[in-house]
Amino acid sequence: MYVAIEGVIGVGKTSLARLLQPSFDANLLLEVFEENPFLSNFYQDRNRYAFQTQMFFLLSRYHQQRRAVPEMLSTNKPLISDYTFEKDALFARNTLEGDELEMYYRLHEALAEKIPLPDLTVYLRASTDMLMHRITMRDRPYERSMDRAYIDTINVAYDEHFMQPDEKRAVLVIDSNELDFVKNSEDLKWIENRIRQRLQYPPFQPELPIDGAENRS
């Protein structure tokens, strides 16, 4: 079983992956993003640093997933990751243009063929206002100059991508606006059960509704 958690910056991907890991006795793969030397400059001047930032992320994500995913799956334990390789192209589409974007797409397409796909992608949705609130609350230094319009653009791109049916991937959509899976164990258990249901991974219970939580398969 290989599950990837996806969503826009600030939605809680890493927190959810860490919290689910003990329940599934899973290996945990977390994105190493703070090492990108261009990231803080990118948030201050996106046009100037977009290409360097995106290419660094692309190659970093490729090397990590190309090595770590097969290695962790070979242990015959479940794997939970807080990102997918395909997310990189969503950001590139909104930060690059012209020849730079064309060059990026060619490289991404060649690398993506070598990356194992998750059995299930859990897409955590949230409103742009909620995302900005969560970004503010976690107060990462390089995110303090985060532009709301940029987050809104990325949010729209994620919805357009993960809400569309695609026979190549299985997606479980969770509206996280009214959920607090960090502080509320019932919310966390509900998400865990939805994952088990979708994958038919025992034990799981018939779906029980939670007020304010929207989910689509």
Structure token pair of residue 39: 């990231």
Who contacts 125 (Cβ-Cβ below 8 Å, separation ≥6)?
A: 7, 11, 158, 159, 173, 174, 175, 176, 177, 214
Q: Which residues contact 175 (CB under 8 A, 6 or more apart)?
A: 125, 126, 212, 213, 214, 215
Number of H helices, E strands in the chain: 8, 6
Closest CA to 13 of 41, 39, 33: 33
> Tokens for 30?
């977390």
Q: Which of 165, 169, 157 is nearest to 93 (CA)?
A: 157
Range of the domain at 113: 2-216
Q: Domain containing 90 — which CATH number?
A: 3.40.50.300
pLDDT at 18: 98
Q: Name the band, by pLDDT with cuts 50, 70 and 90, for residue 217.
A: very low
Query: What band does 17 get if pLDDT is binned at 50, 70 and 90?
Result: very high
Tens-digit pLDDT profile for residues 134-154:
999 888 887 887 889 999 999
Q: Is the pTM of this model over 0.85?
A: yes
Q: Give the chain's domain count.
A: 1
